[in-house]
Structure 1
């Protein structure tokens, strides 16, 4: 009876987390694929659009790079449920303010606030890692990445259809309301994750252990760097992809439709790929899965310079989306395995910060590539970046065990799997 009740609470918690992550990602991706066109609406010169796009894409990651480890430490001290509620509420505030932006600078300020107050993915991952059984952690993180895929599938479709009809201001306001609802659901329905409270000594030791386990352990260090490069490549692609589609679609109106549709197809593949890679990470080393995914993704990206019509990009985007689903969850999976329990939020925040660093560098890499290289060269450069990420991930396998790594902390103390107070 007690086991059935605990299982029901875990399922309810996962449903709340899934909805919240879906709402956050859907709300943000209504504009990201169309960002070059949105910024052009502020009256920017054509030559400035690519650079403003890069700056706007990188802005949330700049502030989140600083705040993610700090929020993780707060979560380790006061509870990860509070961080889930805080992340949705903070994101609602930032997105709501975007509805009133009238200049690129004002929009940029809102994006910076988004990174400082948001962080839904890392907050959700930290909470989920405390309620999932260790042998099912990959499935849990993969399922949550499925929410990312679903949100990113719905977001571009809604953005492409609704932005032109109602305007971005009304769209941002609606997203803010949805995020407030998600924050309220988390506050009311999420139980406290087990093991949230701990002594000050344990928390301090956990911070030291987290730093050592992530940076000194070869598998963790190599995968953090690989994740950084992988994230940089994907965000560089956003900068060059819209211009590529515009060059073969025939008109801005057609390009807008195709960018939204192809982005949605990419994330539909991620929706399927997230759980698949998660289950694989429970059975085999996450470094190996990351390397395979990065190679396949790099080939698919490099080939996107070749098609002469937008519909021929579809199979390449499907491969890209399915493989990209392995990146972030593999990094977080290894971080959760290596970090001691009492510092897991800090480890997740630190790992998310490394991924955010890639998000900062990627758009500038893309803007530079599209400026100094022909379109084919820009896609090839991004593909090569993914190849480097694969090599780094493989380097971490040399001292990794065939199965998922077991942390020193896990060896000292069995991990509880129930959701408790």
Structure 2
């Protein structure tokens, strides 16, 4: 295997472990708040779950550009290790929380030191031949997204088997393992002397420079809109599954499975769609997948059983596989070499903003419009984003069939 292939394989596994570890709490978070932390009332649980789920992304939004800047100066691998080992410690501490506000503060601390996946994406993009960039972006991103979606399945299984608190300790162990593998096996070609000799500019100046590249503001905005639509119903899916399935001992498992089935299809689709984008253009794949994901959200609102919901979520995962990887590939193609990590840092802030506002909005709207209404809002948002992405990127000079 060539060096870029070894890096890709190890970082795929690392992104999977990190994302799975971060989302293992999803299927039991609302149940944990109710049974262990004393929150009562469906609406109160939904609001707390939304804020706790989103709090990680509040601080991440502000700190990702800083880590991106330091990555361009000191190397991407260093950022991998800083983030991975730091998050493993914070995750273990979450297992000792005794009140919702404590869990909230620890999730915020986790957001401050997060950044493993953006650093991994940047490292892969820097070491991959340009003709294989779409495939590599799809592959490494499939690890992160598959972990994000399969994590709830693992969390649901473990919640039924060992209870809630031990999952935080297991998650910390997974993050430590991912960081150790990255430390031992990932190699980076990084010219420290050239980086040190480069002009020192502020993050504000770097942002202004990047925003003058017409494709990048549109891509950052698309990242936000994707995450907003995808994350709005995420924390409420366990309550929706509970309504369809009824109260039973295996409720946590079914909540996790509903999330996991999306990851199963995504894990297969993302590399294939990435490879296809190398042939027909990332732009075309992005617009088609945005439209398809939006359409398949709508019938989830009227699902009458868990198997029916599972089928819709499986198809959704196929379309998700073409979203973030194609955005990352387009960002890499339109960003100067010396600012790649910084660009991914700002894009991660856009992603974090969507991750932050989406669950909060979903929790706030759960009362007035119901969980079903949130599925419809997400679907309409993605369909509108597909139209906006087509027009805005065309105006920015991205060709339909090109990168």
Partner of 2:40: 45
Offset at residue 200 of structure 1 (A): 4.8
Partner of 1:309: 305
* Partner residue of 2:394 out of 387, 397, 408: 397
Equivalent residue runs for 1:75-90 within 5 Å: 75-90=71-86
Partner of 1:257: 253
Partner of 1:344: 340
Distance 1:66 1:206 in 2: 15
Tell me which moved more, 280-289 or 44-53.
Answer: 280-289
Give yes or no for contact 2:156–2:256 (8 Å, CA) kept in 1. Answer: yes
Partner of 1:183: 179
Q: Deviations over 1:301-320 (max 9, x none)?
A: 11111121111112210111
Task: Tell me whether 1:119 sits opposite 2:104 in the alignment.
Answer: no
Partner of 1:414: none
Partner of 1:22: 16
Give yes or no for contact 2:138–2:274 (8 Å, CA) kept in 1. Answer: yes
SS at match of 2:97: coil
Q: Judging changes above 3 Å, is the alpha-carbon distance between structure 1 residues 250 and 73 closer, same or farther for their aligned structure 2 residues?
A: same
What TM-score results when the alignment is normalised by the length of structure 2? 0.92
Distance 1:374 1:207 in 2: 41
Instruction: Give unpaired runs (5+ residues) of structure 2.
Output: none
Tell me which moved more, 22-31 or 7-16.
Answer: 7-16
Tell me which moved more, 198-207 or 29-38.
Answer: 198-207
Equivalent residue runs for 1:212-291 within 5 Å: 214-251=210-247, 253-291=249-287
Partner of 2:167: 171
Distance 2:212 2:154 in 1: 44
* Partner residue of 2:126 out of 118, 124, 130: 130
Q: Deviations over 1:97-141 (max 9, x none)?
A: 111111111111111111111222111111111111122111111
Task: Tell me whether 1:10 sits opposite 2:4 in the alignment.
Answer: yes
Tell me which moved more, 136-145 or 195-204.
Answer: 195-204
Give yes or no for contact 2:160–2:253 (8 Å, CA) kept in 1. Answer: no
Give yes or no for contact 2:149–2:259 (8 Å, CA) kept in 1. Answer: yes
Give yes or no for contact 2:225–2:354 (8 Å, CA) kept in 1. Answer: yes
Distance 2:105 2:10 in 1: 30
Instruction: Give unpaired runs (5+ residues) of structure 1.
Output: 1-6, 406-421
Partner of 1:335: 331
